[in-house]
Amino acid sequence: MAIQILMPALSPTMEEGTLSKWLVAEGDEVTSGQVLAEIETDKATMEFEAVDDGKIGKLLVAEGTEGVKVNEPIAVLLEDGDSADDLGETKPTAKAEKPAKSGDTPTQAEKSETPKAPATVSADVVMEDIPEGTTFTSRTVRESLRDAMAEEMRRSGDVFLMGEEVAEYQGAYKISQGLLEEFGPKRVIDTPITEHGFTGIAVGAAFAGLNPIVEFMTFNFALQAMDHIINSAAKTLYMSGGQMGCPIVFRGANGAAARVGAQHSHDFAAWYSQVPGLKVVMPYSAADAKGLLKSAIRDPNPVVFLENEILYGRSFDVPDIEDFTVPIGKAKIWRSGDDVTIVSFGIGMQYALEAADRLAEEGISAEVIDLRSLRPMDTETIIKSVKKTNRCVTVEEGFPVCSVGNHISSVLMQQAFDYLDAPVINCTGKDVPMPYAANLERLALVTTDEVVDAVKAVTYR
Amino acid sequence: MAAARKTKKSNISGEELKEHYRSMLLIRRFEEKAGQLYGMGLIGGFCHLYIGQEAVVVGLEASAKEGDQRVTSYRDHGHMLACGMDPKGVMAELTGREGGYSRGKGGSMHMFSAEKNFFGGHGIVAAQVPIGAGLGFANMYRGNDNVSFAYFGDGAANQGQVYETFNMASLWKIPVIFVIENNQYAMGTSMKRSSSTPDFYHRGAAFNIPGQAVDGMDVLAVKAAGEEAVKHCRSGKGPYILEMLTYRYRGHSMSDPAKYRTREEVQKIRQEKDPIDHVRDLLIEGKYATADDLKALDKEVKNIVSEAAEFAADSPEPAIEELYTDIYA
């Protein structure tokens, strides 16, 4: 019986890809391991190999086709004894065909129940600071981060990017795509795998007045560099009586991706938020990713810029404004409402917004605040909202103990106590290392259901 | 790999020699005074004295030029005085006063001078090593011919980040001089009990970084080695390692009873190897100075230190508003 060859998932977050080029033709005999096609994912162009020996019976997807969904049949392979007549009768192959060049980023299927971000900014978003009549272009978070770095590198020769695989590999998550080509190896610098060392070097360069952007492949690896982020970068301005600052950006993927286990799934938002001297930013949308990264690069202080792998491929409307920046320390109200305030940031926003949609169907009007910056935190916007709604639920993927939500609860208790009609509820990830099993991972992360339940609890529904 | 013990001396005039004597003496007297002020309760917390190691910083500063940078650990008073920072500002930082380099907010271990290119003053053992390479990286990035001096001890030399830095510094040819001040004790642990090999100047061999061991009690040998290292770095050949064989007379910090070595060991080195006595002898023997000249110099240095101590005691504590300044630029 003929075998269907399916579009493979070649990265943790890949949902679809472009079939760039067929390297075989119909009628060709192929052997296991032979490269069949080049497939462009959201991260890179990968070679795709045959798993079985046989003859190419039919190519189902023409080369150059974009948006081919993962698991869609792309070709039919005839095994010994099959004839072209068997083409109508096929069986699917085991899906995960091994990419020839998987690199060192994990490859597995996308998380199955990831809620979708709104494709475009919804109508009731409060778009402060964006002039009327502004046009928008749909961009992914990934592209926006790259655009921000490129624009800032064009603006100032003192800005440079260093990290693992940022240059020739074009970024482990393809964030720095094209930067080496434009700015050259002096300003887009591949480092050895040595976080402690290269972070220290970057901090020294910042002390000398340069503006390094340090990419951590993920923030899990920044634990190796924690001493320089905290003791060297954050504290020197104070220790030097204001003589010497550290204008540096530490950026990279933070928090859970999908099925990468406990050591690669840690959300450090609360950790960094504790440290005076650091600024901490965690954007959700592509526009904020761009505007905040540009602000972070210009900031004279060390900025920890927490991204999220799941969000990299998401598209949002980005305003067509030249030199678009978003101020650090200012929250954004995505949706106004009267019954409850939902406060979140980063990927937590997708649960918050989805919960707000569902609650609206049940007649509960939620105001959704995206903090965007965690330090300094725009508590004024939260308090103002809570004075209106009298109820608050916070949402984050991080651990529950000493969470960002705990801090917000404390602020509200002290500064809006008389306005609260119910205790603040913090929806967080569970108090466990991240499990690998798909079902357990879903349980370990915060869910939209939990947010909906929390809102019902604080509104006594 | 060119790693060898050398004691080549540079040609030096009597005036220069006298200047080195003065610089070393200033550090010695300053540190003695700091010890006294600590005993009086005017200096608090940790206080690590540099007595015995003076020739290292004085010799290397003599090989540096305007624009070069330096960064070191928490045993930093000598480095600051040697690069020309004001003894008053340093002492007032030790006493935690407004007149200190960091307005009292840094303390003994954390002082900086943007003006003198002194980048601290770091309390985490070996953290200054990649930072020093980062300063060198910035020089390379800007295309100037400045070099950076990253000072660290035999204790720090066992930290992992030192080797991460060696690798990148050599790979990228960063103009940085790694100065290993081997005073033979990492706090209370002798080098013999902490290092698998005795020769730290060899530690760059795996990364193709040349190194040499230097008599760190001889300011002329230090200066000569510094000149070689500086020439190497400025010519674009990448990093260089100088292992300074030196000795600290005092404890690791003020609260160190120093049970890990004998009094006799310390006395022997003081009598036979003291870096200041050595230069004093050279000055007298070479007839560059008379005993009276040196006495006058001693008095001058003592006065500078007394004035610094007075300033440090009289300078007010920082205004309470300082608690919340300098957190963000």
Segments making up each domain of chain A, as ranges: 2-92, 136-319, 332-458
- Whether A276 has its CB under 8 Å from any CB of chain B: the answer is yes
CATH level 2 (architecture), domain A332-458: 3-Layer(aba) Sandwich (3.40)
What is the CATH class of A2-92? mainly beta
A97 is catalytic: no
Residue B34 clears pLDDT 60, i.e. is over it: yes
- Residue to mutate among B80, B122, B131, with most A CBs inside 10 A, is B131
Residue A351 clears pLDDT 60, i.e. is over it: yes
The predicted structure's pLDDT at residue A14: 78
- Average the pLDDT over B194-212 and give the result: 96
The predicted structure's pLDDT at residue A443: 95
Q: Residue for token digits 């870096």?
A: B275
- Whether A198 has its CB under 8 Å from any CB of chain B: the answer is yes
Q: How sure is the predictor about B49, in pLDDT bands with cuts at 50, 70 and 90?
A: very high
Residue A423 clears pLDDT 90, i.e. is over it: yes
Q: How sure is the predictor about B9, in pLDDT bands with cuts at 50, 70 and 90?
A: low
Residue A223 clears pLDDT 70, i.e. is over it: yes
- Whether A163 has its CB under 8 Å from any CB of chain B: the answer is no
- Whether A384 has its CB under 8 Å from any CB of chain B: the answer is no
The predicted structure's pLDDT at residue A85: 66
pLDDT tens sequence across A67-119: 999 889 999 999 877 776 666 555 544 444 444 444 444 433 344 344 444 43
Quote the ipTM score: 0.92
Residue pair B301/B82 in contact by the 8 Å Cβ criterion = no
For B190, the domain range is 3-312
Minimum Cα–Cα distance from A240: chain B residue: B102
Cβ pair A236:B137 closer than 8 A: no
Distance CA(B101)–CA(B87), nearest Å, equals 10
**Residue B322 within any structural domain of the chain:** no
- Whether A230 has its CB under 8 Å from any CB of chain B: the answer is no
Cβ pair A192:B168 closer than 8 A: yes
Q: For all residues of chain A together, what is the average pLDDT? A: 90
Using the CB atoms, write b or e for A328-352: b if 16+ within 10 Å: bebbbbbbbbebbbbbbbbbbbbbb
The predicted structure's pLDDT at residue B10: 52
pLDDT tens sequence across A397-408: 999 999 999 999
Minimum Cα–Cα distance from B167: chain A residue: A192
Cβ pair A204:B139 closer than 8 A: no
Distances (CA, A) of A27 to A65, A348, B64, B319: 21, 50, 73, 85
Q: Which residues of A touch B165 (CB under 8 A)?
A: 197, 200-201
Q: How far does A209 lie from chain B, in Å, by closest CA?
A: 8
- Average the pLDDT over A142-171 and give the result: 97
Cβ pair A204:B120 closer than 8 A: no
The predicted structure's pLDDT at residue A128: 60
The predicted structure's pLDDT at residue A283: 98
Distances (CA, A) of B7 to A79, A268, B20: 78, 52, 18
**Residue B326 within any structural domain of the chain:** no
The dihedrals phi and psi of A2, each to the nearest 5 degrees, come to: -70, 155
Q: Which residues of B touch A300 (CB under 8 A)?
A: 328-329
CATH code of residue B268: 3.40.50.970
Nearest to A248 by CA among A288, A199, A297: A297
A264 is catalytic: yes
Strand partners of residue A58: A76
Q: Which residues of B touch A236 (CB under 8 A)?
A: 112, 120
The predicted structure's pLDDT at residue B173: 98
- Residue to mutate among B137, B139, B147, B163, with most A CBs inside 10 A, is B137
Q: According to the 3-state scheme, what is the secondary structure of chain B?
A: CCEEECCCCCCCCHHHHHHHHHHHHHHHHHHHHHHHHHHCCCCCCCCCCCCCCHHHHHHHHCCCCCCCEEEECCCCHHHHHHCCCCHHHHHHHHCCCCCCCCCCCCCCCCCCECCCCEEEECCCCCCHHHHHHHHHHHHHHHCCCCCEEEEEECCHHHCHHHHHHHHHHHHHCCCEEEEEEECCEECCEEHHHHCCCCCHHHCCHHHCCCEEEEECCCHHHHHHHHHHHHHHHHCCCCCEEEEEECCCCCCCCCCCCCCCCCHHHHHHHHHHHCHHHHHHHHHHHCCCCCHHHHHHHHHHHHHHHHHHHHHHHHCCCCCHHHHHCCCCC
Q: Return the number of other C-beta atoms located less than 10 Å from residue A319's C-beta.
A: 18
What is the CATH class of A136-319? alpha beta
The predicted structure's pLDDT at residue B178: 98
Residue A45 clears pLDDT 50, i.e. is over it: yes
- Identify the active-site residue in A228, A264, A266, A407: A264
- Average the pLDDT over B31-56 and give the result: 95
Distance CA(B78)–CA(B88), nearest Å, equals 13
Give how many domains chain B has, as a whole number.
Answer: 1
The predicted structure's pLDDT at residue A160: 98
The predicted structure's pLDDT at residue A82: 75
pLDDT tens sequence across A298-348: 999 999 999 999 999 999 999 999 999 999 999 999 999 999 999 999 999
Domains A136-319 and A332-458 share a fold: yes
Q: What six digits make up the tokens of A442?
A: 């879903």
- Residue to mutate among A183, A191, A207, with most B CBs inside 10 A, is A207
Write the residue in A203, A243, A277 that is nearest to B131 by C-beta.
A203
The predicted structure's pLDDT at residue A88: 57
Q: How sure is the predictor about B12, in pLDDT bands with cuts at 50, 70 and 90?
A: confident
**Residue B13 within any structural domain of the chain:** yes
Q: Residue for token digits 């023409």?
A: A62
- Whether A363 has its CB under 8 Å from any CB of chain B: the answer is no
The predicted structure's pLDDT at residue A123: 39
